[in-house]
Structure 1
Amino acid sequence: MNPNYPYDIHFPVNLEQGKKYPVIFTLHGKGSNERNMFGLVAPLAEDFIIIGIRGNLQLGGGYQYYDLKSLGNPVREMFDRAAADLEAFIHYATEKYPVDPDKRYLLGFSQGAILSMTLALTMGEQLKGIVALNGYIPEFVKTEYALRRMKNVSVFASYGEYDSVFPVRIGHETAAYLQEQTEHLTFKLYPSDHGVTEENQLDFLNWFKQDAGLNH
């Protein structure tokens, strides 16, 4: 299979033959790229395979995974295709690389967080966990997609209290919805705009280590 997305892959330095590794797939925000995301998880590069997936649609100097009709209103056909293609990509990478299929994580910011939460709902327990930074779940995903049980999927969702793109109210609504779907939700607010603070980064890095059982 030919993957539908360009991507960057980083392996742990001391890769052991025959060993399977936990993986983090990163999904960037609108107009950004996969390299911007690597910095967020670089401290985990000794223990995880990190795969940065680049959106396949050019936008200014960066990329996106789908287009919008208006804020919070994705072009449905493009969104549907992105959700299906990303799921296929996750399976492709799991077969191609020494990925532990029981320890697959997604980390997404903004548009990437929207897709990460969507994939957690459609792939369910095929994923071990997701980190969703400043995103929401489109209404049509909740009502029209085929959703799987995600009771045991770990979710770290965070939001900027002063987010000027998606009001913090959306963060609270998203957390309330996720609370009903999973028994393993961590929801945090940070005194920031639409971005990732140092404290936010430290919190999710620790969350990854703990969730993957890597506290050494």
Structure 2
Amino acid sequence: MKPAYRYDLHLPPDYDPGRRYPAIFTLHGKGSNERNMYGLVEPLDSPCIIIGIRGNLPLGAGYQFYELKSLGKPIRELFDTAVRQLEQFIAYATETYAIDPQQRYLLGFSQGAILSMSLALTMGQDQIRGIVALNGYVPEFVKTEYTLQPVAQMPVFISHGEYDSVFPVRIGHETAAYWQTATSACTFKLYPTDHGVSPDNQRDFLSWLKQAFTSHPQGGDTI
């Protein structure tokens, strides 16, 4: 199977294909790229596989996963295709590398956060262990028209900038409220920033990920 996306792969220094590792799939924002996302998770010292997925649609000097009709309104056909292809990519990566299918995490910013939350809802807690969603939202059509899977036990970290000029902070509160009713393990934090990720935000979600790894120890079984 040839994946629909190019990607940036980072394996643990002592990578052993006979073990199973937690995996973090990163999804960048509109006009950015997978290498920018790696900078956010690079300080994570836990042994895990990090896969930065690059959007397959060029946009300026960067990329995107789907195009928009207008701000906050994805072109539905492109969005649906992105969700389907990302589900297939996660399956491809799990088969190709020593990934524990019970420890797959999604981390996204902006457009990547929108897709991370959408994938969490369509794949469910049996396939996605947890997500970090930075400055995003869940499209209304995902909530009402997609087939959603159980997420009641899925750990979720949601953050938003108090002065976000792209998605106003009201959207952050609405997103948090949605997830707080969907799962018993939702963390929501606001930061005094615009549409970006502050050092405090990075520190907090890295700490959250480390704790998530600890609460679900990695397997040491051989293949």
Equivalent residue, structure 2, for 1:84: 84
Q: CA offsets, 1:133-155, max 9 Å, x none?
A: 00000000000000000011110
**Partner SS for 1:137:** coil
Distance 1:17 1:34 in 2: 24
Residue 214 of structure 1, CA deviation: 7.3
Distance 1:120 1:214 in 2: 19
Q: CA offsets, 1:26-56, max 9 Å, x none?
A: 0000000000000100012551100000000
Equivalent residue, structure 1, for 2:207: 206
After superposing the two structures, state which structure 1 stretch, 45-54 or 5-14, moved more: 45-54
Tell me if the contact between 1:117 and 1:130 (Cα under 8 Å) persists in the aligned partners: yes
Q: CA offsets, 1:47-100, max 9 Å, x none?
A: 110000000000000000000000000000000000010011001100110001
Equivalent residue, structure 2, for 1:6: 6
Equivalent residue, structure 2, for 1:149: 150
Equivalent residue, structure 2, for 1:53: 53
One-letter amino acid of the counterpart of residue 156, structure 1:
F
Equivalent residue, structure 2, for 1:195: 196
Question: Percent of aligned positions with the same letter in both sequences?
Answer: 67
Unaligned runs of 5+ in 2: 217-223
- Structure 1 residues 45 and 57: CA distance shift in structure 2, 3 A: farther
Q: Do structure 1's residue 184 and structure 2's residue 185 form an aligned pair?
A: yes
**Partner SS for 1:44:** coil
Distance 1:45 1:64 in 2: 29
Distance 1:158 1:193 in 2: 12
**Partner SS for 1:43:** coil
Tell me if the contact between 1:108 and 1:133 (Cα under 8 Å) persists in the aligned partners: yes
Equivalent residue, structure 2, for 1:115: 115
Equivalent residue, structure 1, for 2:219: none
Q: Do structure 1's residue 24 and structure 2's residue 27 form an aligned pair?
A: no
One-letter amino acid of the counterpart of residue 82, structure 2:
A
- Structure 1 residues 67 and 45: CA distance shift in structure 2, 3 A: farther
Tell me if the contact between 1:121 and 1:147 (Cα under 8 Å) persists in the aligned partners: yes
Equivalent residue, structure 1, for 2:97: 97
One-letter amino acid of the counterpart of residue 129, structure 2:
K
More RCO (CA 8 Å, sep 6+): 2
**Number of residue equivalences:** 215
Residue 162 of structure 1, CA deviation: 0.2
Distance 1:207 1:39 in 2: 17
After superposing the two structures, state which structure 1 stretch, 14-23 or 167-176, moved more: 14-23
Tell me if the contact between 1:11 and 1:45 (Cα under 8 Å) persists in the aligned partners: no
One-letter amino acid of the counterpart of residue 171, structure 1:
G
**Partner SS for 1:108:** strand
Aligned Cα root-mean-square deviation (Å): 1.1
Runs of 4+ with >2 A deviation: none
Unaligned runs of 5+ in 1: none
Q: CA offsets, 1:107-152, max 9 Å, x none?
A: 0000000000000100011100000000000000000000000011
Residue 16 of structure 1, CA deviation: 2.6
TM-score, normalised relative to structure 2: 0.94
One-letter amino acid of the counterpart of residue 106, structure 1:
L
Tell me if the contact between 1:122 and 1:147 (Cα under 8 Å) persists in the aligned partners: yes
TM-score, normalised relative to structure 1: 0.98
**Partner SS for 2:42:** helix
**Partner SS for 2:159:** strand
One-letter amino acid of the counterpart of residue 130, structure 1:
I
Distance 1:181 1:159 in 2: 18
